[in-house]
Amino acid sequence: MLDHSKADKITSDLLRSIRMNKSFVVWMGILGISLVICLYAYTIQLREGLGVTGLRDYVSWGMYIANFVFFVAASLIGMLISAVLGLSGQKWITPITRIAEIIALAFAAVAGLVIVSDMGHPERLLNVFMYGRIQSPIIWDVTVVTVYVLLSTLYLFIPLIPDLKICHDKIDNITPLQSKIYKLLSLNWKGTAEQVALVRKMIRAISIFIIPVAFGIHTVTSWLFASTLRVGWDSTIFGPYFVTGAFVTGCAGVIIAMYFYRFNYKLGDYLTDFHFDKMAKLLVLVSLVYLYFNLNEYMVPGYKMKKFDALHIHDLFVGNHALLFWAVQLGGLVIPIILLLFKKMRTPKPMLFIAIAVFIGAWFKRYIIVVPTMEHPFLPIQNVPLNFKIYTPTLTEVLINFAPFVLVLLIITILSKVVPIIPVQETIEEFEETHK
């Protein structure tokens, strides 16, 4: 009897966020206006050409590509939390899985658009399918990102089926149409033993399959660089270097989202200090692995100082990009690791600030990977205007790069308004198991 009322409380707690309110409308309005401004910037680029950006013949990949790498990176967290930790039997991830999956899906789905914004002829996108050549890493990327988006959709949807039924049954302040949609999407869920077994089996299958695909998307993304001969990109460890970097980005993203949901959705009973502590430790773990790869990536060429490596390393360590480089490496990686070793820091509020620093640092890290290399080709840059030698993003370019973030926030905001952000069914099941 007690359990029953507890289950009801869990249900009502977790479904509370699914309703219209003023702050949601205001927030959507802000996002909508931002998106319109960013899209206006994109129309300028469509009309005038990529010349409206700071990109030129030598630095021909810049913010857009850095942004693309960042988006792919952020999307890997779904795989890490739900699949890797889930398969290894970690129970504490239950309230975080859906948050991670929503983040993963939103970032992965938008990543494709980021790359389109970098194209000189976006209207020729279909050429990729009509004339696609298998030897181009871009084709691998298109393939594997598409597969990942589809898998992530399933990975979000299938565990959601029981919850959609609960939404249909328990939420009463919605229109009949919304209720009908919930019923339709719940695929006639009755919670029979057979259905439960089937869903478990499917989730397990996706959990296993999504791991190589997720490794694939970021490894292939790293190969866009590693497959060239350029200094700073011509590296054999770029695959794992990027994948571990992605885990750092994603963990930070999830922590920020957890903080937001905990306080705005009043989910303190579910996203507890215990969960924050666990996420902090996970962030430290992946950051240490990433730090190790960074050490290899910069120490080894830095020790040998081959002619062109030396130019590049010099520029990063003490040259034009030194300030950004050290800010990113220390502020976005080393200092967060050290801080999170202290128990006091592994609580929601300090973690929010640390996670934001890591998240922003992660973005600029991609910038540091993309831009300085392009500023240091093998042959000197001569007989061109100064803006060909030093890349400075323009306002239009910055706004266009902002659009994907707005889109991600829109997707996350809408999804977290229509589905319970913490799995209801699983939370009840776990409660029942622990209180038998």
Partner 1 sequence: MSSNEEKPTKKSRRDFLQQIGVVGLGSVLGGSAIMAGINYDQKKKASDRVKILTAENELMEVEKSALSAVSKPKAEDLAYLQKHGREGLAGKRWVMVIDLSKCRNARKCMAACQDAHHLRPEQHHINVLKMQETKNTPAYYMPKPCQHCDNPPCVPVCPVDATFKRQDGIVLIDNERCIGCRFCVAACPYSSRIFNWSDPLHEEEDKDLVYNVELNVPQRKGTVSKCLFSADRLREEKLPYCVSACPNGVYYFGDENEDAVTNGTTKETVRFKKLLEDNGGYTLMPELGTKPRVYYLPPKGKEYPFQEKDKEEAAEHLG
Rg of the chain in Å (alpha carbons): 23
The stretch near partner 1 (CB under 8 A) out of 56-64, 75-83, 92-100, 197-205 is 56-64
Quote the CA–CA distance of 102 and 118 in Å, as a whole number: 25
Which CB sits closer to partner 1, 135 or 434?
135
For residue 7, the Cα-to-chain-centroid distance in whole angstroms is 32
Q: How far is the CB of 388 from partner 1 (least distance, A)?
A: 7
Q: 348: number of CA atoms within 13 Å, CB side?
A: 14
Which CB sits closer to partner 1, 64 or 182?
64
Verify binding: residue 392, partner 1, rule CB under 8 A: no
Neighbour tally for 338: CB within 10 Å: 12
User: Helices 161-170 & 424-434, crossing angle to 10 degrees?
Assistant: 100
Quote the CA–CA distance of 359 and 232 in Å, as a whole number: 22
Helices (H) and strands (E) in the chain, counts: 20, 0
Verify binding: residue 146, partner 1, rule CB under 8 A: no
Candidate list 132, 191, 212, 268; residue touching partner 1; CB under 8 A: 132
Quote the CA–CA distance of 240 and 197 in Å, as a whole number: 35
The stretch near partner 1 (CB under 8 A) out of 69-77, 94-102, 121-129, 241-249 is 121-129
Number of residues that bind partner 1 (CB under 8 A): 52
**Residues 20-49 as x/- pattern, contact with partner 1 by CB under 8 A:** ----------------------------xx
Q: How far is the CB of 84 from partner 1 (least distance, A)?
A: 31
Q: How far is the CB of 404 from partner 1 (least distance, A)?
A: 17
The stretch near partner 1 (CB under 8 A) out of 74-82, 177-185, 212-220, 303-311 is 303-311
The stretch near partner 1 (CB under 8 A) out of 73-81, 129-137, 162-170, 396-404 is 129-137
Verify binding: residue 131, partner 1, rule CB under 8 A: yes
Quote the CA–CA distance of 194 and 33 in Å, as a whole number: 47
Q: Determine which helix (DSSP H) or strand (DSSP E) holds 299, and give its type and residue range.
A: helix 273-304
Which class for 188: exposed (0-12), middle (13-18), buried (19 or more C-beta within 10 A)? exposed
Closest CA to 424 of 93, 164, 156, 87: 164
The stretch near partner 1 (CB under 8 A) out of 52-60, 67-75, 187-195, 428-436 is 52-60
Q: Which of the 8 DSSP states describes residue 332? A: I
Judged by CB under 8 A, the chain residues 186 through 225 that form the site for partner 1 are: 224-225
Closest CA to 399 of 121, 43, 48: 43
Q: How far is the CB of 178 from partner 1 (least distance, A)?
A: 41
Q: 85: number of CA atoms within 13 Å, CB side?
A: 22
Tell me if 11 sits within 8 A of 265, measured CB to CB. Answer: no
Judged by CB under 8 A, the chain residues 304 through 323 that form the site for partner 1 are: 307, 310-311, 314
Q: How far is the CB of 196 from partner 1 (least distance, A)?
A: 44
Candidate list 20, 343, 380, 435; residue touching partner 1; CB under 8 A: 380
Candidate list 24, 31, 92, 137; residue touching partner 1; CB under 8 A: 137
Which CB sits closer to partner 1, 287 or 396?
396
Quote the CA–CA distance of 98 and 161 in Å, as a whole number: 12
Tell me if 337 sits within 8 A of 271, measured CB to CB. Answer: no
The alpha helices in 16-136, defined as continuous H runs, are: 22-48, 63-74, 77-78, 86-87, 94-117, 127-130
Verify binding: residue 147, partner 1, rule CB under 8 A: no
Candidate list 18, 38, 41, 50; residue touching partner 1; CB under 8 A: 50
Verify binding: residue 4, partner 1, rule CB under 8 A: no
Candidate list 127, 146, 347, 392; residue touching partner 1; CB under 8 A: 127
Which CB sits closer to partner 1, 24 or 58?
58
Candidate list 188, 229, 323, 436; residue touching partner 1; CB under 8 A: 229
Verify binding: residue 181, partner 1, rule CB under 8 A: no
Quote the CA–CA distance of 17 and 14 in Å, as a whole number: 7
Verify binding: residue 124, partner 1, rule CB under 8 A: yes
Q: How far is the CB of 286 from partner 1 (least distance, A)?
A: 28
* Plot region of 188 (φ>0 → left; ψ -120 to 50 → alpha; else → beta): left
Interface residues toward partner 1, by CB under 8 A = 48-52, 55-58, 60-61, 115, 118-122, 124-125, 127-128, 130-133, 135-139, 142, 224-225, 227-230, 307, 310-311, 314, 374, 377-385, 388
